[in-house]
Amino acid sequence: MKLVIGKHAGFCFGVRRAAEEAYRCLDAGIACVTLGPLIHNPQEVERLRQAGIASVDSPAQVGSGETLILRSHGVAPEIYEEARERGIPVIDATCPHVAAIHRLVREYSGNQGAVIIVGEADHPEVKAIAGWAGSAVFIFNEPEQVREANLPGRALVVAQTTIRRERFESVLEEIRQRVPDLTVKNTICAATSQRQEEAEELSAMADVMIVVGGHNSSNTNKLYETCRQRCRRSYLIETADEIPSEAIHETDTVALTAGASTPQWLLGQVADRLNALFP
Ligand code: SF4
């Protein structure tokens, strides 16, 4: 068995930064909680919980003396206001790329323009961007949704940072036909594009493709979809215990990649287990 590990597999810059902030708080003895799970990875969230960092659903649940860590996905402006009103100290780990989208949509909507977000309406990052975009905001994840909407003549388009390029382009094509005065900002993160392109290359040459990451992670699932289109034997696993060993042969080339929310230690465990199973 030949094992190839993607160079871009695992934590992206924004997620690593958020995790480092959380561990820095622990080291400094600061009592803190995160607003929502810090990372879309159950194993890392559990690791944080055991280390003493729990997650809450709203600023109202933050205990006295606790600091609130905002995750890389970012939050809507109301959350900052609520934390301020309640006197809760905040550590803002919003990814700088996401914060730049917040500024972009706030500025555009301030000039009376509508904002169109291409992405998943229920994803926390998209919800937060919508929160900064004011009232004239549209969210589309499929070209059909664009056809059914009553769109204005002028709008700004931004993308969820982790959306697949092909999906963004197909939705955008539809929007272009409907909105004459359109400003397009492709805000797909470079970390996402690199990971997707690398996954395309790896899955095209591998016999078995393994994507490591949370089943609840949007970017991990998109990575898996990309791999499955090119490699029939693609698997999405969360931990080394889920390695589909019965589906792997000793002569296979196995490629490993991981979502932006997958910690390096989990990826390492999967690689070690594969090497132990197929020395
Ligand atoms: S995918 Fe990109 S934008 Fe999103 S958190 Fe990671 S580095 Fe930031």
Is 236 found in the same domain as 266? yes
The pLDDT value given to residue 226 = 92
CA distances to 144, 184, 225, 273 from 211, rounded to whole Å, are 30, 31, 10, 14
- Cα dihedral 194, 199, 202, 204 sign: negative
Closest CA to 129 of 179, 163, 164, 176: 163
119 lines ligand 1 (CB under 6 A): no
The pLDDT value given to residue 141 = 96
Catalytic residue numbers, as ranges: 125
The pLDDT value given to residue 103 = 97
Is 103 found in the same domain as 181? yes
- Evaluate whether 260 touches 192 at the Cβ level (below 8 Å): yes
Question: pLDDT tens digits for 152-183?
Answer: 999 999 999 989 889 999 999 999 999 999 99
Backbone torsions φ then ψ of 157, nearest 5 degrees: -110, 130
Is 157 found in the same domain as 140? yes
Question: pLDDT tens digits for 91-127?
Answer: 999 999 999 999 999 999 887 789 999 999 999 999 9
CATH code for the domain in which residue 83 is found: 3.40.50.11270
Question: Last residue of a domain, which of 157, 175, 190?
Answer: 190
Domain around 149 = 97-190
Is 250 found in the same domain as 177? no
Among protein residues, the one with the nearest Cα to ligand 1's atom 7 is 14
Among protein residues, the one with the nearest Cα to ligand 1's atom 5 is 14
Question: Last residue of a domain, which of 190, 225, 253?
Answer: 190
Closest CA to 185 of 219, 157, 221, 213: 157
The pLDDT value given to residue 15 = 94
Beta pairing, strands 234-237 & 208-212: parallel
The pLDDT value given to residue 165 = 87
The number of angstroms, rounded, from the C-alpha of 137 to the middle of its chain's C-alpha atoms is 21
Longest dimension (CA), the chain: 62
Can you tell me whether residue 144 is helix, strand or coil?
helix
The pLDDT value given to residue 192 = 84
160 lines ligand 1 (CB under 6 A): no
Weakly modelled stretches of the chain, pLDDT under 50: none
Is 178 found in the same domain as 133? yes
Residue 15 CA, ligand 1 centroid: distance in Å: 7
Is 272 found in the same domain as 223? yes
The pLDDT value given to residue 262 = 94
151: its two tokens: 């769109």
15 lines ligand 1 (CB under 6 A): yes
161 lines ligand 1 (CB under 6 A): yes
Is 58 found in the same domain as 76? yes
Q: How many CB atoms lie within 10 A of CB 158?
A: 26
The pLDDT value given to residue 112 = 78
Question: Last residue of a domain, which of 126, 158, 190?
Answer: 190
The pLDDT value given to residue 22 = 95
User: In DSSP terms, which residues pair with 248 in a beta bridge?
Assistant: none
Residue 272 CA, ligand 1 centroid: distance in Å: 27
The pLDDT value given to residue 207 = 97
Is 104 found in the same domain as 129? yes
Question: What gap in Å lies between CA 75 and CA 58, rounded to an integer?
Answer: 11
Residue 261 CA, ligand 1 centroid: distance in Å: 9
35 lines ligand 1 (CB under 6 A): no
86: its two tokens: 């309640």
Is 177 found in the same domain as 133? yes
Total domains in the fold of the chain: 3
Closest CA to 74 of 54, 93, 53: 93
Is 207 found in the same domain as 272? yes
Is 152 found in the same domain as 120? yes
Is 60 found in the same domain as 80? yes
Place of tokens 């940072």: 161
The pLDDT value given to residue 217 = 87
CATH code for the domain in which residue 257 is found: 3.40.1010.20
